[in-house]
């Protein structure tokens, strides 16, 4: 049976890297229950008009308006995030009901745990994860399509009691992919249900984009 989820779909006309580190965090935070400390429109000027319809300012923070499906859900509840490059004038930020991609043909690699950025212990693990990934990753011709699926360890979640945001999971690995691939046209992220294992699993697929620009 095909799994269906609510995805945050961002269409951007930015000309730079499609996923600079920590670039999308204010957007994700601003459209979910926790709210954002920083105005995402400052970092994403091409999305200013569409974000005006989704967020509002209260008490110095940027919150989702009540019509957002995640206005009462934490950002960790977001299971799918799609970033797509479009021509100027076609920008959008929207929630869409999507089918989760078929992951059966994606490459799979296990890590002791997913690293993060901004913490020395977790950054050291991030470095080891990137090195292990480099041993199996082959870059396709650019422009490229990238899919990443993250599966956290239920054992670690139970011990620490802390879920992980999908954008934070991507931030740790994206510098590796940005060095390996010249240009991305679309990035699809999936957060899978936790696995009963001490390891955490990354599934990935990187191929040449089938979009003609």
Whether 177 maps to a domain, the answer reads: yes
Indicate whether 62 and 25 sit together in one domain. yes
Indicate whether 91 and 126 sit together in one domain. no
Token readout for 181 is: 């691939």
Indicate whether 95 and 157 sit together in one domain. no
Q: What is the number of residues in the chain?
A: 213
Indicate whether 15 and 94 sit together in one domain. yes
Choosing from 49, 81, 99, the residue where a domain stops is: 99
Other Cβ atoms less than 10 A from the Cβ of 23: the count is 20
Indicate whether 25 and 88 sit together in one domain. yes
User: Which range of residues forms the domain containing residue 130?
Assistant: 107-208
Whether 32 maps to a domain, the answer reads: yes
In this prediction, residue 210 carries a pLDDT of 87
The domain total for the chain is 2
Identify the CATH number of the domain in which residue 178 sits: 3.30.1330
In this prediction, residue 72 carries a pLDDT of 64
Indicate whether 64 and 93 sit together in one domain. yes
Indicate whether 49 and 111 sit together in one domain. no
Strand order in the sheet with 184-191: 92-99, 4-12, 80-85, 184-191, 144-151, 200-208, 107-111
In this prediction, residue 155 carries a pLDDT of 84
Sign of CA dihedral 74, 76, 82, 87: positive
DSSP string, 88-147: TT--EEEEEEEEPP--TTSEEEEESS---SS-HHHHHHHHHHHHHHHTT--PPSSSEEEE
pLDDT tens, N- to C-terminus, the chain (213 residues): 678 888 999 999 999 899 998 999 999 999 887 889 999 999 999 999 999 989 999 989 999 987 777 766 666 788 999 999 999 999 999 988 999 999 999 999 999 999 887 778 888 999 999 999 999 999 999 899 999 999 999 988 887 667 889 999 999 999 999 999 999 999 999 999 999 988 999 999 999 998 755
In this prediction, residue 185 carries a pLDDT of 97
Whether 213 maps to a domain, the answer reads: no
pTM score of the predicted model: 0.93
Choosing from 99, 127, 143, the residue where a domain stops is: 99
Choosing from 76, 99, 122, the residue where a domain stops is: 99
């Amino acid at each position: 049976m095909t799994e269906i989820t609510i995805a945050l779909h961002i269409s951007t006309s930015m000309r730079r890297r499609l996923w600079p580190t920590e670039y999308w965090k204010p957007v994700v935070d601003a459209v979910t229950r926790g709210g954002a400390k920083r105005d995402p429109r400052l970092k994403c000027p091409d999305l200013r008009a569409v974000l005006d319809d989704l967020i509002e300012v209260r008490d110095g923070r940027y919150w989702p308006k009540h019509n957002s499906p995640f206005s009462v859900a934490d950002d960790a509840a977001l299971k799918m995030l799609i970033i797509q490059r479009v021509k100027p004038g076609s920008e959008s930020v929207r929630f869409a009901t999507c089918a989760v991609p078929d992951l059966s043909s994606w490459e799979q690699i296990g890590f002791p745990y997913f690293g993060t950025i901004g913490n020395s212990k977790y950054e050291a693990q991030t470095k080891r994860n990137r090195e292990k990934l480099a041993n199996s990753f082959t870059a396709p011709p650019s422009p490229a399509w990238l899919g990443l699926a993250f599966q956290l360890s239920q054992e670690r979640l139970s011990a620490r009691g802390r879920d992980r945001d999908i954008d934070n999971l991507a931030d740790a690995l994206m510098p590796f992919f940005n060095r390996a691939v010249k240009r991305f046209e679309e990035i699809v992220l999936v957060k899978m249900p936790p696995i009963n294992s001490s390891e955490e699993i990354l599934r990935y697929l990187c191929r040449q984009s089938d979009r003609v620009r």
